[in-house]
Structures are given as C-alpha cells and as structure tokens.
Structure 1
Amino acid sequence: MEKILIELVHRDARLARAISEVSISEPQSSGDVYYDLLESIVSQQLSTKVADVIFRRFLKLFPGEYPHPNQLMAMDLDTLRSVGLSKGKSQYMQNVADFWVREELETKKWEDFGDDELVQYLSQIKGVGRWTVEMILIFTLQRPDIFPTDDLGVQQGMMLLYGLEKDKNLKKKMTEIAEAWRPYRSTASRVIWRWKGQQKTA
C-alpha cells in the first residue's frame, strides 16, 4: 500500500495533497460476494447508519444470521419488509439469491472474470447496477484498478480537489484525470473518498 501511495504522489500533485491529509490502510475484505451484494442493495440511497440498522435486522431473520440463498428465496416479502426493507429492495435481494443458485456461483472462480466482464455478468441481476458491482470489485474482490465514475463521493471529491464543474463533461474529465493513476485507480478512489469525508467536518 505504501509503495502505491508513493507512486501516486509522484504522478499527481493534487492527489498528493489528499494523500498527505488522510490515512489509508490495507482494505479488509469479507471475500463473500453474495453477502456483500445483499448489503450493497440495502445501502442504496440510505445513510450508512440507517442501512446498518436495517441490514442487522435483516440478518436476524435467518438462522445463524446468514441469509443462505434458498432461505432468502423462500421468505415472503412481508417478512422482509417488516425489518425496514422496501418492496423493491426485498425483491432485488431475492433476485440476487435466485441468480446465485441458478448460476451456481458458489462454484465460480472470480479470478477467471475480468473487471468489465464481471460488471456485465452481475449487472444482469435486476437491482444490481454498475456502481454496486464496482463496489464489490474494489472492496470484496480487491481489484486494484477500478474507477467508479458514478459514485457521488468520488465525483464530489474530485470536484473539490480539481476544481471541476458538475456538468455533462464531469465524468469525461474525471476519467481523463484518473488515467494517470492506472493501474492503482482503486486506491486513488479510496483516497478521494476519505479526503472528501474529512472535508465535511472541516
């Protein structure tokens, strides 16, 4: 991690400023794509605090607090909604469970999938979009070179750090800047997130 940060400092002076102001450690991963997909769906459009409460309630519905796919598919929507999930999110989570069983993902080797290939593959699940899969790639599978241009935190952080405007060219400009970060765009994105988070309390 330290070598990557030093390399990024040399490549991008503005990112170097952010790196100097934050602390970034080695990411910790559950390694469980199925579980993390469910958690990502719960967190969509919710604050971290609210999402954590709802997800903990959701887990308590299952023996051992683990929502095994067949158990999740068998659960009625009213029970899922009783813990604070919307009807849509309840269905999306069952979609994940159904896809997991149907595609026999327990036996799949994720390292056999390229980054874009995995985005396309998992985005087939209704309720799972590109952003959600990119979060799985960065945090669960720890792929080193993911740049989530749709992420609001990355957008806001880069607007602040690089003086970008929120217009139709924002993502294009972000992508151009991030070219200098290859093949470490995941780490650079984590720096931007952390730095942006600190600005809120500054």
Structure 2
Amino acid sequence: MEKLWHITKDDQRVQKLAKKDKVMGQLIERIGDVERTLRPYPLKSLVRSIVGQQISVKAAETIFGRLKEKINDEWTIAAFKKLTEEECKEIGLSRSKQKYIFNLIEHIDNGELEFEKLDHLSNEEIIKQLTAVKGIGKWTAEVFLIFTMQRENVVPVDDVGLQRAAKRLYNQPDVSGKALLKECKATWGDQGTIGCLYLWEYIHQYQI
C-alpha cells in the first residue's frame, strides 16, 4: 500500500513559505493542498532511482515492475543476491545499472551504508554517504532525502523539471534555472522541500 505525504495549504509551514515568497504564495493559493507518494523503504527507493536513470518514466516503471516481481517484492540483500546476470538482463536492466545496484547491495552488506543511522546525520552527511556508492549522484540522494526521509529543507537545484517550473513561475525565461533555484533555496530556508512539492504539483497540473 502506498504511503502518501499530504500537505494542506493551511499548514503553518506552508503559510510561512507563502509569507517569505509572495509569488510562491500565489501558487499555493491556486493549487491548494498537495499530495505526493512517499518511498519509505530505503533500498527500494534507491533501486527505483537507479532503474529510472536516463530512460522514460514508462520504461522505468515497466522494468521496476519486473524486478519487483522477480524478487517477490522482498527488498532485502538476500533477495538481490539470488538474482543472476541472465535474470537481470531479462528484466531489462542494462549492464551498468546491474553494476550500480549490486554495488549498492555490497555497500549495505559490508556496513559502509547503514540506513538506520541516517536519521542522525545532516543532509550533507547523508548525500556524502550515498554518493560514495557508484551510480548514485547528488540528485538521487536529494530525492531520497525528500521522499524517503521527509527532510524539509531540501532543494535539488539540478532537477531540470524544477528549473523549468521556476523559470515559468517567476517569469525569468533568460535566467539560469539552476541559479534561480539557488535563490529559491536561500529564500525558502527550512521550507525548501515544501516549495519543491508545490513546483512539482505546478508541473503536473499545468503540463509544464
């Protein structure tokens, strides 16, 4: 069963963001409440991100669905260790993605990456640990912080979709999207994640 993250426009954090950023405040009024699907299981979340690299959403969901079926939805080290190279190929995983996934499994298995200890670390420390795993970049780590750990002060400035949405929302077509998101991050502060959730909803509702 999916776990949802439901944020109402009357939430104190949302109202605080609206006061900091008037343009975002107008968007919040237009959109109202937002709801996003969380990824509460760390290994599953990271594998999903690796599977989705550089392919369409539809293709990623198909391959991820096959993988889920192959391991009987058991997101454990043992389940992955049973997978053969041939089975991974049949699922549709490229050789590089196979390497990334099994590199992740190795990091967890040998104790280099301990999910249960991440709660006590800062965002920067978590990003450093995750990006030490080949195949996991900063953007993947930031998405993990948002949708798996529900950290509220994250703005993935390299997210192309968020860059495009910010340029449209703030009517800054000639400004670098990354630079604009950096400005947003500085303005939004501890409500950075909420700002991103509203930008993602803006993309969804207005086909940006």
Calculate the TM-score normalised by the size of structure 2: 0.86
**CA deviation after TM superposition for structure 1 residue 44, in Å:** 1.6
Matched, 1:163 2:158: no
Most deviating of 127-136 and 9-18: 9-18
Most deviating of 75-84 and 187-196: 75-84
CA distance in 2, matches of 1:15, 1:187: 10
**SS of 1:184 mapped into structure 2:** helix
8 A contact 1:149–1:175 mirrored in 2: yes
Match for 2:53 among 44, 64, 67? Answer: 44
**CA deviation after TM superposition for structure 1 residue 104, in Å:** 5.9
The equivalent of 2:20 in structure 1 is 11
Q: Say which structure, 1 or 2, has more relative contact order (CA 8 Å, 6+ apart).
A: 1
Task: Give ranges in structure 2 of 5+ residues lacking alignment.
Answer: 1-6
RMSD across aligned positions (CA): 2.1
After TM superposition, where is structure 1 displaced by more than 4 Å over at least 4 residues in a row?
A: 104-107
Most deviating of 174-183 and 28-37: 28-37
Q: When the two structures are aligned, how many residues end up with a matched partner?
A: 199
1:37-92 CA distance string (max 9 Å, x none):
00111122233332112111011112x32242233244222211211221111211
The equivalent of 1:180 in structure 2 is 187
Task: Give ranges in structure 1 of 5+ residues lacking alignment.
Answer: none
The equivalent of 2:40 in structure 1 is 31
**CA deviation after TM superposition for structure 1 residue 106, in Å:** 5.1
CA distance in 2, matches of 1:107, 1:117: 13
8 A contact 1:34–1:100 mirrored in 2: no
Matched, 1:152 2:160: yes
Cα 1:47/1:166, change in 2 over 3 Å: farther
Calculate the TM-score normalised by the size of structure 1: 0.88
8 A contact 1:41–1:128 mirrored in 2: yes
Q: Counterpart amino acid of 1:178?
A: K
CA distance in 1, matches of 2:115, 2:198: 34
CA distance in 1, matches of 2:135, 2:116: 21
Match for 2:31 among 17, 22, 41? Answer: 22
Cα 1:107/1:42, change in 2 over 3 Å: closer
8 A contact 1:96–1:125 mirrored in 2: yes
Matched, 1:110 2:110: no
CA distance in 1, matches of 2:186, 2:164: 18
The equivalent of 2:66 in structure 1 is 57
The equivalent of 2:4 in structure 1 is none
**CA deviation after TM superposition for structure 1 residue 107, in Å:** 6.6
**CA deviation after TM superposition for structure 1 residue 27, in Å:** 5.0
